[in-house]
Structure 1
Amino acid sequence: MSASASSPRPSPYTNAVLIRRLFGLAWRYRADCLKVLGLQLFLLLLGLSGLSFTGLGIDYIRYVLAQREVIGPVIPFPVGPLGLSLPPSWPPLQVVGLVAGAILSFALLRAVLNFSYTIAVNRLVQERLVVDLRGEIYEKLQRLSFRFFDANTTGSIISRVTGDVQAVRMFVDQVLIQVVIMGISLTIYIAYMARLSVSLTLACLATTPVLWVMSVIFSRHIQPRYAANRQLEEGLIHHFVESIEGAQVTKAFGREPEDRAAFDAKNDAMLRQQQGIFWRVSLFSPAVGFLTRVNIMVLLGYGGWLVIQGQLALGAGLVVFAGLLEQYSGQVNQVATLVNTIQQSLVGARRVFEILDAPIEVAAKPDATAHPRLRGEVRFDNIGFAYDGIDPVLRDIDLHVPAGRCIAILGATGAGKSVLMSLIPRFFDPTQGRLLLDGIDARDLRLDDLRRNIGIVFQESFLFSHTVAANIAFGHPDATREQVERAARIAAAHDFIMALPEGYDTVLGESGKTLSGGQRQRLALARAILLEPPILLLDDPTAAIDSETEHEIFTALDNAISGRTTFLVAHRVSTLRRADEIIVMENGRIVQRGTHDALVRQPGPYLKVARLQLIDAGEWSASPETGGAA
């Protein structure tokens, strides 16, 4: 195998691509971001003003003491920031009170603005970005085909909609905004410090290049570990979801200890992975803190010498410089947290964008034709289908079903029965040939119109945690109670519904598990019947129903099926013989077709199935004229 063939395909989600897209996401909320940045800039200026007035106050006190010959020689009258000068004629106590009042005013204003800043950030990331992004992901999931859900576990999807969206949120409020704030702050701090003393600034910031090198190395080592941690978390969620859904099976086989052991193993693996991450973060943070402390040591040594030499004022010089350096160090200390958050955000963003970028395999064309009501004619024109585009599941299907005909489908597991029916509502599109409805290619119809013309009962009926009436009316929410009850009567569900505690207003448990399999199936039948669609798809609807109930349902369904194109997957001859025509499938192909009476007179798979069932029912007689059929 060549190197090009064996090498893995490069991921389209490089760090540069992810960061660019995250910036694009934040750009949608640029007005809110600018508001947050404006508040933070104002807070920064207030902090610098308070610090400058503190230095001015110290120098004024030194000046007054020098005037009174308390400390050494006379010093010049202090000048504040931007040339601001204190009133020289005021009594010293009044001047000090003015400075203290100004500092207090700055502090109070900062407190108010800090509150406003917190509210603005929360409104941006929690009330807008997170809500919008989750809604966007959910809307995309609604449009993705079954292939996506087959390839991704429930735990993976839940993890992406919850934890990974929060990771994207962290990028906006804890990375993007903080990086901009940090850039502005550090620029102002460095400019202010350089204005006080260029040499002292260069000496104190000599460790900064070392810090950036450490950050790059840390970033490269930590990102793969966060990616692995997300995978472990996804596996843990998946195991948890499966354990809840399969609790009945676990208890039935007494496998609770093994299930708990498997959960503990996944939990411990995730814990060990997190410990590895925390250990590296715990080493990086103190290293950054140590470098910033070195800056303070340089400040006290070299800065103190400059004050002694008279090259730097004590208050407006050294004290203000120390405050600036402390603020600078505080910002730099956030680098460890920032780098850590960036890596978490990039891992989460990659998983979110994988959903948002997932191809929509089944979509309506922009110029799709509107057909609110179809007659129900269906034609499979040389249909072929393969999930992976290589290994065919359906092969050379040519089948014409006139409107109003009932077609039953028989075949072993994996023969392609359910896939064949899934092409009609376009859960998948054929990879070969065309599906025509009323002579129109299904891909040329509006998707919502197409599916409103089709009533479906799946092999495993899913019910929502809502009332019985709401479940029946799911596809027709405007239906009246009379319409709902009529559909339930046709599906032989009305009697057992009325026996429930609150009848049609009874709230079902999760997935309708409080009902029997037969009851769930009858509600699903009622849900399909209520639409009064021209096409009915029944995927083995009587599999979970006893023979007596089956007879009741199909006796009642005769009127519902009449005049509608019906595709019926079934394995019971008692069900199959009701169809106008039966097709038998093997390995994705139609190998037999005809009525029940015709098929039991010719060798083939249908005769084998019919013979076994009819012998058990005592309806088979070995007759040369009939080929053995009763």
Structure 2
Amino acid sequence: MPSAPSQSPSPSAPAAAGVGAEASTARLILRLCRLAWGYRLQVIRSLVLQLVLLTLTLSGLGLLGLGIDVIGHAFDPLSEANPGGNKPPAWPLGYAPPSAWTSGQQVLLVAGLIAVIGLVRFALEALSAFWIAQLVQDIVVSLRSRVYDKLQRLSFRFFDANESGSIINRVTGDVQAVRMFVDQVLVQVLIMAVSLAFFAGYMLSLHVGLTLVCLLSTPLLWLLTGNFSRIVKPAYLENRRLFDTAIRVLSENAQGVHVVKGFAAQDAEVRRFAAANHAVTTQKRQIFQQVAIFVPLISFLPQLNLVILLIYGGWIYMEDPAFTVGTLVVFSGLLQQFSGQIGNVAQLANSVQQSLTGASRVFEVLDTPLEIQTRADPTPLPAPPAGGKRGGIRFEDVGFRFGKEDAVPALAHLDFEVKPGQLVAVLGATGAGKSTMLSLIPRFYDPTTGRIRLDGVDLRDLPLDALRRSIGIVFQESFLFSNTVAENIAFGHPDATQEQVERAARIASAHGFITEDLKDGYRTVLTEGGNNLSGGQRQRLAIARAVLLDPPVLLMDDPTAAIDPETEGEILAAMASAMADRTTFVVAHRLSTLRRADFVLVLDRGRVVERGTHDELMAKGGHYAEAAGVQAADTESREILGMDEAVDP
């Protein structure tokens, strides 16, 4: 049955500036960190490996400085006769090669150690990249499954309020944004923090004063980064909204391709998608402009540190005998490494805002409360009485609103009882509430007021899955999956035997065309939506799917609405067979069905305005009699014109 009228969610107000917005961002970051903490062994393993890589990097820099000091001392050694010469090298860890070693041998030793460190780093960096990729992939797969699982459990209200493009984007693009947080933010921040601590500690061990002077610009970088994050955050939120629109246009076009081609509207649709795509690009370009200013600025400021190093470090070298050329080279390498990590702050800040925007939309899905769910202590489905049937339905002063602020309820004061095995026909104009009423029985929605009972038990007290397996549903336009005919029929009962599938197909008058018209019979694979079948064939498969579980209650929401007259007779015959011995609600306008009903409910603006059998309502001369008169006149016209060859069941 069709979903409720689409209700666009009201645009959420932008986060308030200041403490509230910062607290919200902090909570989101904390939640993402908790998500990653679920994989803490993999995170810790990667961090330990990063510590090893940092140690190797620092060792390589130290050895480079040592090699320079060895070479410098060999060519211009410091002595009493040459006070301006190079100081002797200070070997680490108290180790020094034998005094008989020449300078060339010492240089070869240092060079060999650097080469070994390079090879080990190459292997460990490859292992680190693999571990991190494995970590983020595990998180993405798990999170995407969680989001998809939650979507399966959310009520129709969520889908009424969110466009399909937005939902698809949350499962795909927004989940990838969480991957970006783990890969490009969380892991990189941890690596950056450890790296900065190592580099700063090493520089302080070489010269405290020079370190402090060279790092004076660091606080300014953090201030600029915080300001940049506040500026681009709302821009990324808007970009995701525009991207949702583009996805929606694409999705609608794919689903409505027959309408588009039928009305020769391809050019208009191309322009429509181009406009949506252009809006995304234009808005993203504005973000790029801000990034294009911020990134070079962040990269420029650390370069000033090298100027300070050249001036102040050169003066220290001339004044401090313990400060060698090798030490100056090592300090320069450390400062460049430190500045390189600081330079990553620009890209990091950009990644943070992209990932937080997507992550917030993912968590919106995960945090949406489950409006329709099984209670903690459900009441089991009642067993049928001895020699009796199940399927009694009782509406008790039921009212329903799609939204709390709706001025007019969709349904109001529905109060009636259907005994097991009865056929109830529901009649009413478009928008009268027919489909909405039927959607309350399988708990697609819960009543706003009143209650509905199945065999004396409130629907909300029953296990949800058991309730829905007790109800067969045939929609106006039934959806079929890209699978075999047999698996489509057995969709609600995957363990059904072939015999059970064929029995359901026979009840639905589908066995004949399956075995005679389809090349592979029940093994025929249907295209998306079952488009390689006719409308009547799709409806008969839908009826077979509904009756396979032998449900005590059957809901048929105007299943012949989109069927041609010739096919209508076949569908009506299938319906008659399916409805036998079941409590059935059928939205119908055909007199043959209305006459067979145990009673008819006539709805108008969500209320039951007439109730009774066909003969009783005809005698009243109200809404029903008027509608039946139109139906009879139309049937007579069709018979005169030879158009109505269908036989009423």
Q: TM-score, normalised by structure 1?
A: 0.93
Q: 1:446 & 1:72 partners in 2: Cα distance?
A: 92
* Distance change in 2, residues 1:516/1:553 (3 Å): closer
In the TM superposition, 1:392-403 aligns within 5 A as 392-403=409-420
CA contact (8 A) 1:376 1:534 kept: yes
* Distance change in 2, residues 1:82/1:211 (3 Å): farther
CA contact (8 A) 1:55 1:320 kept: yes
- Structure 2 unpaired stretches of 5+: 1-10, 385-389, 638-649
Corresponding position: 1:515 with 2:533: yes
Q: 2:449 & 2:244 partners in 1: Cα distance?
A: 36
Q: Identify the match of residue 95 of structure 1 among 90, 102, 106.
A: 106
* Distance change in 2, residues 1:32/1:157 (3 Å): same
Residue of structure 2 equivalent to 1:51? 61
Task: Give the secondary structure class of the aligned counterpart of 1:460.
Answer: coil
Task: Give the secondary structure class of the aligned counterpart of 2:596.
Answer: coil
CA contact (8 A) 2:474 2:557 kept: yes
CA contact (8 A) 1:454 1:535 kept: yes
Residue of structure 2 equivalent to 1:192? 202
Report the alpha carbon displacement of residue 120 of structure 1 after superposing the two structures with TM.
Answer: 0.4
Please list the CA deviations of residues 406-450 of structure 1 after superposition, one character each: whole Å capped at 9, or x if unmatched: 111111111111111111111101111111111111111111111
Corresponding position: 1:216 with 2:234: no
Q: 1:10 & 1:208 partners in 2: Cα distance?
A: 29
- For residue 213 of structure 1, what is the amino acid of its counterpart? L
Residue of structure 2 equivalent to 1:500? 518
In the TM superposition, 1:320-359 aligns within 5 A as 320-359=330-369
- For residue 110 of structure 1, what is the amino acid of its counterpart? R
Task: Give the secondary structure class of the aligned counterpart of 1:40.
Answer: helix
Corresponding position: 1:525 with 2:535: no
Corresponding position: 1:615 with 2:626: no
In the TM superposition, 1:259-278 aligns within 5 A as 259-278=269-288
In the TM superposition, 1:187-336 aligns within 5 A as 187-336=197-346
Please list the CA deviations of residues 246-284 of structure 1 after superposition, one character each: whole Å capped at 9, or x if unmatched: 111112222222111111111112111111111111111
Please list the CA deviations of residues 496-537 of structure 1 after superposition, one character each: whole Å capped at 9, or x if unmatched: 223022222111111112222222111111110111111101
* Distance change in 2, residues 1:373/1:472 (3 Å): farther
Residue of structure 2 equivalent to 1:485? 502
Please list the CA deviations of residues 459-510 of structure 1 after superposition, one character each: whole Å capped at 9, or x if unmatched: 1210001111111111111222222222222212222223022222111111
Report the alpha carbon displacement of residue 330 of structure 1 after superposing the two structures with TM.
Answer: 0.8
Please list the CA deviations of residues 331-357 of structure 1 after superposition, one character each: whole Å capped at 9, or x if unmatched: 011000000000001110111111111
Corresponding position: 1:551 with 2:569: yes
Corresponding position: 1:388 with 2:414: no
Report the alpha carbon displacement of residue 290 of structure 1 after superposing the two structures with TM.
Answer: 1.1
Residue of structure 2 equivalent to 1:626? none
Task: Give the secondary structure class of the aligned counterpart of 1:352.
Answer: helix
Q: 2:442 & 2:58 partners in 1: Cα distance?
A: 66
Report the alpha carbon displacement of residue 563 of structure 1 after superposing the two structures with TM.
Answer: 1.9
Residue of structure 2 equivalent to 1:109? 120
Please list the CA deviations of residues 599-622 of structure 1 after superposition, one character each: whole Å capped at 9, or x if unmatched: 111121110011111133349xxx
Residue of structure 1 equivalent to 2:5? none
Q: 2:95 & 2:223 partners in 1: Cα distance?
A: 41
Q: 1:547 & 1:259 partners in 2: Cα distance?
A: 33
Q: 1:175 & 1:490 partners in 2: Cα distance?
A: 59
Residue of structure 1 equivalent to 2:44? 34
Runs of 4+ in structure 1 deviating by more than 4 angstroms, as ranges, are: 6-13, 67-76
* Distance change in 2, residues 1:233/1:104 (3 Å): same
Residue of structure 2 equivalent to 1:628? none
Residue of structure 2 equivalent to 1:538? 556
Q: Identify the match of residue 376 of structure 1 among 391, 412, 434.
A: 391
Q: 2:301 & 2:293 partners in 1: Cα distance?
A: 13
Task: Give the secondary structure class of the aligned counterpart of 1:115.
Answer: helix
Corresponding position: 1:417 with 2:434: yes
Q: 1:601 & 1:170 partners in 2: Cα distance?
A: 70
* Distance change in 2, residues 1:252/1:552 (3 Å): closer
Report the alpha carbon displacement of residue 73 of structure 1 after superposing the two structures with TM.
Answer: 4.9
Q: 1:268 & 1:75 partners in 2: Cα distance?
A: 64
CA contact (8 A) 2:56 2:117 kept: yes
Q: 2:192 & 2:549 partners in 1: Cα distance?
A: 59
Residue of structure 1 equivalent to 2:474? 457
- For residue 146 of structure 2, what is the amino acid of its counterpart? E
Q: 2:208 & 2:225 partners in 1: Cα distance?
A: 26
Residue of structure 2 equivalent to 1:622? none
CA contact (8 A) 1:468 1:507 kept: yes
Report the alpha carbon displacement of residue 93 of structure 1 after superposing the two structures with TM.
Answer: 2.6
Residue of structure 1 equivalent to 2:644? none
Percent of aligned pairs sharing the same letter: 53
Corresponding position: 1:140 with 2:150: yes
Residue of structure 1 equivalent to 2:455? 438
CA contact (8 A) 1:306 1:312 kept: no
Report the alpha carbon displacement of residue 154 of structure 1 after superposing the two structures with TM.
Answer: 1.0
* Distance change in 2, residues 1:263/1:610 (3 Å): same
Q: Which moved more, 1:309-318 or 1:226-235?
A: 309-318
Q: TM-score, normalised by structure 2?
A: 0.91
Q: Which moved more, 1:335-344 or 1:71-80?
A: 71-80
Report the alpha carbon displacement of residue 138 of structure 1 after superposing the two structures with TM.
Answer: 0.2
- For residue 580 of structure 1, what is the amino acid of its counterpart? D
Residue of structure 2 equivalent to 1:130? 140
CA contact (8 A) 2:391 2:455 kept: yes
- For residue 382 of structure 1, what is the amino acid of its counterpart? D
CA contact (8 A) 2:490 2:545 kept: yes
Q: 1:597 & 1:613 partners in 2: Cα distance?
A: 15
Q: 1:10 & 1:207 partners in 2: Cα distance?
A: 31
Report the alpha carbon displacement of residue 549 of structure 1 after superposing the two structures with TM.
Answer: 3.8
Q: Identify the match of residue 574 of structure 1 among 574, 592, 595.
A: 592
- For residue 271 of structure 2, what is the amino acid of its counterpart? A
Q: 1:603 & 1:592 partners in 2: Cα distance?
A: 11
Q: Which moved more, 1:570-579 or 1:72-81?
A: 72-81
Question: What is the RMSD of the two structures over their aligned residues, measured on CA atoms?
Answer: 2.2
Residue of structure 2 equivalent to 1:475? 492
Q: 2:127 & 2:531 partners in 1: Cα distance?
A: 49
Please list the CA deviations of residues 268-327 of structure 1 after superposition, one character each: whole Å capped at 9, or x if unmatched: 121111111111111111111111111111111211221122345334410110110011
Task: Give the secondary structure class of the aligned counterpart of 1:601.
Answer: helix
- For residue 588 of structure 2, what is the amino acid of its counterpart? A
Please list the CA deviations of residues 24-70 of structure 1 after superposition, one character each: whole Å capped at 9, or x if unmatched: 11111111111111111110010001111111121122233345979
CA contact (8 A) 2:78 2:84 kept: no
